[in-house]
Each structure stands twice: as C-alpha cells, then as structure tokens.
Structure 1
Amino acid sequence: MIRTVVRADADDIAAIYNHYIKNDIATFEEEPVTAADIERRISAVVPELPWLVYEDSGSIMGYAYASKWNPRSAYRYSVESTVYLKADVKGKGIGSQLYSALLQKLKAQNIRMVIGGISLPNAASQRLHEKFGYEKVAHFKEVGYKFGRWIDVGYWQLSIHESG
C-alpha cells in the first residue's frame, strides 16, 4: 500500500536512510539520522509537497518525496524527487510504484519540472529515472567525497507540464 507519511513512520524511514548513509554513495550524508531528524524533514515538506511510503504488512519498505528545488519564489514549480528503499526489496518494482504515485501527485499540484540528483555510478537509479522519462541534463565531476573517494553527481529532469 502506498500512503502519505505519518510521524510514526519516522523510525522506519531513519533505519532505511541510515543504511545508505553507512553503506552507499546514494546520499552524501555521513552521520546517521534519528527519528527526530526525519520528523523535522517531513515537517519541512508536508503538507506543501508529497511524502509517500510503501507499506507492506505493517512495515515500511520504502519512501519517496519531493522537496523544493530552490527556496526562491520563481522556482516554486520545480521540485527535487527522492526515493529510498529497504536494501532487501530493491528490484521488486516498489521504487517504480512510489515514483509513479509521487509524479501523479506532483502533476495534480501543477508542478512543472521534477529534478533527480544521482550520485554516480548508480545504474539502478539511472534506470528508474529514465523509465519515467527523466533526461540527464548535467554531470558534476568529483563534487562529493565519501568513503575515501571522490564522487560524481548527475542531474536528470522531467517535465510533467501539459502543453496547451
């Protein structure tokens, strides 16, 4: 089931995200987060923008949300999309379901542009974004340093604006 996040999800979300902080370059954060940190992040997004979770048998398997691309008012129709899954459920279509639901909600809110930043290499994330029509528009070399190495970041964008 995909639903809107609630405060009680913060512990599960922190556990999912902390796996990536400790073991992956998908995020450039290096210190684990707490449930309170996640609650603050949720409050910064909801209700203005969607934050969704995928729940199965009472357990959060993943989450996706949109955040402001830039706080300046002229950017109000552009957002950044984010998705994270429990490590053991990758490749089961949950990320696609979350992104599909997130994009539908953003389109209903008259968002025009959705931007996804991807630490590289990350073939799975690239495939997910490109599956939904995101196109690569930027590549920044060696902008992050984690696990003793320099990491590139690519940016993909998707127009969800209907012309006419």
Structure 2
Amino acid sequence: MIRDALLSDCPQICSIYNYFIENSRATFEERQVEPSDIASRVVTLQKELLWLVYEQQGEILGYAYVSPWKGRSAYRFSVESSIYVAHSTAGKGVGTQLYQALLNRLQDYPIATVIAGIALPNPASVAIHERLGFHKVAEFEKVGRKFGEWVNVGYWQQQIKTEQQIDELEQRVLEEC
C-alpha cells in the first residue's frame, strides 16, 4: 500500500535512510539521523508537498518525497524528488510503484517540473528515472566528497504538465496573491 507518511513511520524511514548514509553515495549526508530528524522533515514538507511511503504488512519498504527546488519565487512550480527503498527490497519494483504514485499525486499540485539529483555512478537510479520519463539535463563534476572520493551529480528532469497547464497554474497563483 502506498500512502502519506505518518509520524509513526519515522523510525522505519530513518532505518532505511541510515543504511544509505553509511553504505552509499546516494545521499551526501555523512552522519546517521535520528527519527526526530526525519519527523521534522516529514512535518515540514507535508505542509505543502508530498511524502509517501510504501507499506507492506506494517513494514515500510520505501519512501519518496518532493521538496522545493529553490527558495526564490520564480522556482515555485519546480520540485526536487527523492526516493529510497529498503536495501532488502531493491530490484523488486517497489521503487517504480512508489515513484509513479508520487508523480501521479503531483498532478493535483501546482507543480510543472520535477528534478532529480543522482550521485554518479548509479545505474539503478538512472534507469528508474529514465523509465519514468525523466531525461538528463546536467552533470556537475566533483561537487561532493564522500568515503574519500569525489562524486559527480547528474540532474534529470521531467515536465509533468503541458505549457497550457503551466500557464493556467501561473494565472491561478497570481490571482490568489
């Protein structure tokens, strides 16, 4: 079942994320986080955007969320997506289902562009993004350093609304201001 994250999910979300902090370059965080850190992030993002979990028989197998791309107002129609799947369930379709649900739910939001940053190399992450319609738009060299190695970050993006939908959204937002 894919649903909105609850505060009670935070210990399991934290466990999934801490695996990636300790064992991969998928995140540039280098110190483990606490469930209270995750709870704060969930509460903050869910005020305006999405944080979803994939739950199976009471176990959280993955999570996905979007956060604002940048703080300046002209970026208001763009978000950055993040997805993490429990290491034990990698390659079983959980990530694809979760990400597709996130993209589908974003149709109800005034969001036009979804951007994903991927620490490279990461063929699995590149594959899921491209399978879901993202395309590579940039790569920054040696912008992160983790485990004593420099890491490049690639950016993939997807337009989830047509130009007409974007114009209508912008007009609606301007009218609300």
TM class, shorter-length? over 0.9
* Partner of residue 109, structure 1: 109
Does residue 1:149 correspond to 2:149, yes or no? yes
**Aligned counterpart, 2:87:** 87
Q: Residues of 2 paired with 1:26 and 1:103: CA distance?
A: 20
Name the SS for the 1:96 alignment partner. helix
Q: Which residue of 2 aligns with 1:55?
A: 55
Deviation track 1:118-163 (CA, whole Å, cap 9, x = no partner) reads 0000000000000111010000011110001101000000000124
Contact 1:117 1:153 in 2 (8 A): yes
**Number of the residue aligned with 2:64:** 64
In structure 2, distance between residues paired with 1:19 and 1:11: 13
Code of the residue aligned with 1:13 in structure 2: it is I
Secondary structure in 1 matching 2:32? coil
User: Which one-letter code corresponds to 1:55 in the other structure?
Assistant: E
Partner Cα separation in structure 2 for residue 110 and residue 123 of structure 1: 30
Q: Distance in 1 between matches of 2:131 and 2:61?
A: 21
Identity %: 51
In structure 1, distance between residues paired with 2:34 and 2:24: 18
Q: Which protein has the larger Cα radius of gyration, Structure 1 or Structure 2?
A: 2
Partners of 2:70 and 2:44 lie apart in 1 by 13
Partners of 1:60 and 1:133 in 2: CA distance? 26
Q: State the 1:110 CA deviation.
A: 2.8
Q: Which runs of 5+ in 1 are unaligned?
A: none
Letter of the 2:65 counterpart: Y
Greater helix fraction, Structure 1 or Structure 2: 2
4+ runs deviating over 2 angstroms: none
Structure 1 CA distance for aligned equivalents of residues 98 and 47 of structure 2 = 18
Number of corresponding residues = 164
Query: Which runs of 5 or more structure 2 residues have no equivalent in the other structure?
Result: 165-177
5 Å-filtered alignment, 1:111-130, equals: 111-130=111-130
Q: Contact 1:110/1:161 (CA < 8 Å) preserved in 2?
A: no
Contact in 2 for aligned 1:63/1:98 (Cα 8 Å)? yes
CA distance in 2, matches of 1:47, 1:57: 27
CA distance in 2, matches of 1:154, 1:31: 23
Q: Cα RMSD between the aligned structures?
A: 0.8
Calculate the TM-score normalised by the size of structure 1: 0.98
For residue 109 of structure 1, report the CA deviation from its aligned partner: 0.8
SS at match of 2:15: helix
Which whole-Å deviations, capped at 9, do the CAs of 1:78-105 have from their partners, x for residues lacking one? 0001100100101111101111110011
Counterpart CA distance in 1 for 2:90 and 2:115 is 22
Name 2:16's counterpart in structure 1: 16
